Amino acid sequence: MYRVCLETGDSGRDATPLYRDPELLGHVYAGPYPIADPGLTWVAYDDQGLLGYVVATADTAAFEQWLEEAWWPGLRARYPRRLAADPGDGTQDWRRVAHLHDPPRTPADMLHAHPAHLHIDLLPRGQGAGQGRRLMMTLIEALRARGVPGLHLGVGSGNPRAFAFYLAMGFQEARRAPWGSTMTMDLRG
């Protein structure tokens, strides 16, 4: 999963050249989910191996608290705050280190109606063949079975294919920011 996260981590493109430490993206966007909410992780395979995954949490507020208590402390020790300074060489490790020291909090007004959130990543060989749709539908059904009222995600402005995919899945753009969009889906209908 960490490899897929890295190879899709630049708005759907390979982020390998942007990171000295190939695990940093996975530590933030893939690794904690199967541990914190293990019933909401699915992977897709083909004859070449893992080609994608979806990870989620049904309760973002509880997940963010769990990160503070159980996930970030070990990573903060491994990646001290001094590494959150931009070295000026185009690498992005520093941004992920800054994230784990000062993680953004999801706005409370988002959590009321859309408490769940997800990350989905598919390698290019798995895109366009229905794998993403299958992963998303599996997740949506599991969240509905838990009675979760809504789901949100972030999509970078540099990833118009993903934005179109989420619209086709039934998400709506709730907020737009310089980095991209927050999209939501009502799961009650």
Residue 43 to residue 54: CA distance in whole angstroms? 6
Contact assessment for residue 97 and residue 79, using Cβ atoms and an 8 Å cutoff: yes
CA within 13 Å, CB half, 31: 17
Copy the structure tokens of residue 119: 């990350």
- Quick: pLDDT tens for 93-141: 999 999 999 999 999 999 999 999 999 999 999 988 899 999 999 999 9
* pLDDT of the residue at 115: 98
* pLDDT of the residue at 129: 87
Nearest to 2 by CA among 38, 47, 55: 55
- Quick: pLDDT tens for 8-21: 999 999 999 999 99
Q: What is the mean pLDDT of residues 36-45?
A: 96
**Average confidence score pLDDT of the chain:** 96
Residue 61 to residue 174: CA distance in whole angstroms? 19
Q: What is the mean pLDDT of residues 39-61?
A: 97
* C-alpha torsion sign, points 60, 22, 178, 98: positive
Phi and psi angles of residue 75, each rounded to the nearest 5 degrees, phi first = -70, -35
52-61, 63-72, 153-162: least confident range: 153-162
* pLDDT of the residue at 164: 94
Name the pairing type of β-strands 150-156 and 172-177: unpaired
Residue 157 to residue 180: CA distance in whole angstroms? 4
Burial of 101 per CB tally in 10 Å (0-12, 13-18, 19+): middle
Residue 53 to residue 71: CA distance in whole angstroms? 20
130-140 residues labelled b (16+ CB within 10 A) or e (exposed): ebbeebbeebb
* pLDDT of the residue at 27: 98
- Classified by CATH at the fold level, domain 1-186 comes out as Aminopeptidase (3.40.630)
Residue 67: pLDDT band with limits 50, 70, 90: very high
